[in-house]
Structure 1
Amino acid sequence: MRFLAITLIVHRPDPVTGVLESTHDRFREVLDNAVLAEELGFDGFGVGERHERPFLSSAPTVVLGHLAALTRRIRLFTAVTTLSLLDPVRAYEDYATLDHLAEGRLDLIIGKGNGSAQRDLFQVTPEDQWDRNAESYEVFRALWRQDKVTADTRFRPPLKDAEVWPRPYQRPVRVWHGSATSKESVDLAARYGDPLFSANVTHPIEPYAELIGHYRERWEHHGHDPADIAVGAGSAGLYVARTTQEALAAYRPVFESNLAFQKRTGLPVVFETLEDFAARSSALIGSPQQVIDKVHRYHERFGHTVQHIQADAGGLTRTQHRDSLALFQSEVAPVLRRAIPDPPFPWAPSGVRQTPRPVPADH
C-alpha cells in the first residue's frame, strides 16, 4: 500500500484558536508539510485545485513546481485538477512543463470539481460541467500521447493537426479520476482503463463502496483486466496517538469546532459526536492498531491500494500534527505496506525515455 499526504490549502481561521494566519504563512506551511512528508517516508504529496473561498489552491502547478525543487523522491499529485474549468491545451502545457521539472514524479488526479462560485467564475453550468470534463480529458489525453492532434471540440476552438509543446517527459503521465458521489467520473475512468480515487471524506462507507463497485463493473464491461484495477481512497482526518483515549482527547477540540462551523454555515452534519465520527467516518483517529484495523475494514470494501491522509494540522498544534504523522509512518504504514499490495504499476516515472540526471552529492 502507498500513502499520500494531501492539502486543498484551506485558508480560514484555525478551528481551535480562531487565528487566521497570513496568506504567505499558509503557503509556507504547505511547503514545510511537503518536505516533512518526504522526510517521514510518505509516497506522495498532493495539492488540490479550487477557485473560490476559503481555498488558496487556484494555481496548483505553481505550488507543485516549487515543491519539485524542494523535494527529490516523493511523487507529486494534483488533488484534483478541475479539467471541467480548464482549457485542455493550456492545462497540458502547464503539466507537461511541470513533469519535466519534477523529472517524472507527477501523477494527476482529475475531476470536474465542485462549488457554484468557481463554476460561475469560469461560466460553467451544472448542465454542461460533465461534458466539459470529458471533452477536456479526451483532448488532454490525446495531447500527451500524440505529436499532432485533431479534435472537433465544443467548448474550445477545434484543433487541426495541432502541435503543442513541450513534448512530455512521462509517456504518458498517469491520470487518476477523482470521484465523490457521481458516476460520471467513475464511468470515464473505467472507459479509458484509468485508476480511480474515491474522495471518501464526507459520508460513511456505503456510497463510496457503491461507486467503487460500479467502477469495477464498468471496468470489466470495457474489456479491461480486473488485475489492472487501482483504487485510491481518502480519509476525513488523522490523529494517531499511543492510546485511543489520548487520540480522542486531543482531537475533540478540532471536531467540536468543525461541527460548530458546519452548523453555523448550514453545511449538512453527518456525524454529531466525535465518537461517531471516529467510528463510522473514514477519519483515522486512535491508537496505531485502531488505525490499522480501520484501514483494513475499508480495504475489505474498496480493495484500495493507495490511502491519502490530510497534510495539514487543521486545528492540531504543529507538534501534535508532526508527532501524529511520525507515529503513522513508524507504526501504522509499515504494517499496512506488508499486508496490502501496492497498485499494479511501478511507483516511478511512466515510460520515460530519458535518464534522470544524478542528484548532486550535497543535496
Structure 2
Amino acid sequence: MVFSLPKRLFSCSSLLRNRAIIYTSNGPVTQALSIITYQPLPPPPPNTINIKFILAPINPADLNTIEGVYPSKPSLSSNLSSSGKGSKDEPVFVAGNEGLAEVVDVGEGVSGLEKGTWVVMDKPQVGTWATSRNVGVKDVIRLPFGKLNGLSEAHGATMTVNPTTAYNMLDSFIQLSEGDWIIQNGANSAVGKLVIQIAKIRGLKTINFVRSRDNLSELVKELEKLGATKVLTYDDLYDKSIRGKVKEWTGGKDIRLALNCVGGEPAAAIAKLLGSNAHLVSYGAMSKKPLSLPTSLFIFKNLTSHGFWQTRWSKENSRHKKAALIGTLAEWMTQGKLKAPDHENLTIFRHDSDEEATQKVRETLRRVAEGKVGKKVLFKLEDVNA
C-alpha cells in the first residue's frame, strides 16, 4: 500500500532550513549577536502566514534595541527549534524591526493574502533579520504594488520607518498648503531627504541645514536635485543675517513648521526663525544634547513643541489608515517621486557557516555603529539546504 502526504507539506519553505540573527541578552552588537540555523517552517496555523524575507535594513534603532536602550522591546521566540537556541528551553530574540517579505504559505482563515504577495511589517520588532518566519495575519500589511509595477526591493524593505516618519511629520501637526515653507536640520539624513521629496510632491518649499564638509557642493546639488529649495550650513544658521535672508526668500510669509533631529543649539536656532503659532517637531537628538528653547518663543510667538515617534503613531492609528499611507508611499515610489535610499546589500550566503556568518554580521554592525558606512545596509539571508 502506498501512502501520499498532503501537497502543502512539499512547499518550498518546508524543504529548506532557515537562519536568523539572534541575541539572548542585551549588549554591544559586536558581542550580543550571533547567527543560528533552525528547522524548516511547518505549515502555518490558522490565521497566520509563513513569510520569506527578501531584504531587511539596519536602522539606528535596531542597534539601540539590541543594546537595550530603545523603548520598543521585542518578544522572545521559542518556536524556531525543538532543542537548543530558539527552543522553549532556550528562547531568543530575533533582531530586526523593518523589512520586505513575500508570502510563501497561508493558514486557514486567511483572506486577502496569497502566495507571492509582498508584505511589510505592521507589528514592531517582529524579527526581520531572518530567512523565514511565521507571523499573524495582522502583523503585516499587503503592498498594493510589486516588482512588476516598478517597486524595488529596496523601496519595500525601507518603507515603514523613514518614509512614514517624514510623511506624518508633514501631515500631523499643522495644515500646510502649496507654497508654504518648512525648515529642518539634519537635512541630509534619511528622513531629511524624504522630507524634501515629499514636500516637493506637495508643493511645499524647504529650508534645509546640514553640517559643513569638504564635499558640501556635492551634497547641496544632491539635495537640490531631490527638491530642496534652499540648502545651508549651521554656520549660515548662526549668522546674524539669516533672519533677513529667510524673510526675503519667503516674501515675509511665516514659517510654521520646523523639524528637528539634532537637538541642542541647532534646534533652538531654527525655532527662532519660526513665525507665530508655529510647531517644532523633534524626532531625534543626534547631537545628544538637550532641547533648550527660549521662553520668549512660547510667550510671544505661541510656539508649540512636539515629539514624534513613528512606533507610537503606528500603535495609535488603525490598520486601514496605515495601509492607506503605505499605499500612497508605494505609489509615489513606483512613479519615481521617492528615491530608494543609497544602499548596499549584505548577503549571508548558504555556504557560510554559522560562525563565518556571525563574524560577517558583527563586523558590518561595528562599522555601522562607528558611522563608517555611508549607505543604508540591507540584510539578505539565504536559507540553507535541509
Which of these two proteins has the greater Rg computed from alpha carbons? 2
Q: Indicate the structure with greater strand content.
A: 2
How would you bin the TM-score normalised by the shorter chain?
A: under 0.3
Q: Indicate the structure with greater helix content.
A: 1
